[in-house]
């Protein structure tokens, strides 16, 4: 599966790294696997999503990710950080967040380190 999913149990962070391109098969497999990971976390947790390799997110992927984010929030996601490399990618991440109607703190960052620091410090809002 081109998506990389890592659960950092100690920090209660679910980390996902997107591939440069997403096929329908990749997306289907990812949705199945990440929902398992989300369900296994139980309680409150944060998401770190590295979208830096994926420059343009196709419309079907945006829709699927918006639904997934709504699912995640209902199952304990309390913060969401996205790593993007340019303003258009950041705008795309913002649109997906709005489409999911998330009510939790969400931010975009240029580096994984900055995103992790924000997730680990709940007072960083």
Q: How far apart are CA 19 and CA 28, in angstroms?
A: 14
Q: At what angle do helices 24-41 and 59-74 cross, to 10 degrees?
A: 10
16-20, 29-33, 94-98: least confidently modelled range: 94-98
Query: CB-based contacts of 36: which residues, under 8 Å, 6+ apart?
Result: none
Q: How far apart are CA 35 and CA 46, in angstroms?
A: 14
pLDDT tens, position by position, 63-114: 898 899 999 999 999 999 999 887 777 667 777 777 778 889 999 999 999 9
Model's pTM, two decimal places? Answer: 0.88
Helices (H), ranges, 17-111: 24-41, 59-74, 87-100
Report the SS3 class of residue 38: helix
């Amino acid at each position: 599966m081109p998506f990389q999913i890592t659960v950092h149990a100690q920090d209660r962070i679910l980390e996902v790294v997107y591939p440069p391109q997403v096929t329908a098969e990749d997306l289907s497999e990812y949705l199945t696997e990440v929902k398992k990971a989300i369900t296994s976390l139980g309680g409150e947790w944060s998401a770190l999503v590295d979208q830096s390799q994926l420059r343009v997110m196709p419309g079907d992927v945006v829709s699927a990710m918006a639904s997934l984010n709504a699912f995640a929030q209902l199952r304990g996601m309390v913060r969401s950080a996205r790593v993007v490399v340019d303003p258009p990618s950041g705008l795309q991440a913002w649109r997906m967040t709005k489409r999911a109607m998330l009510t939790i703190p969400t931010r975009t960052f240029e580096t994984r380190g900055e995103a992790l620091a924000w997730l680990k410090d709940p007072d960083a809002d």
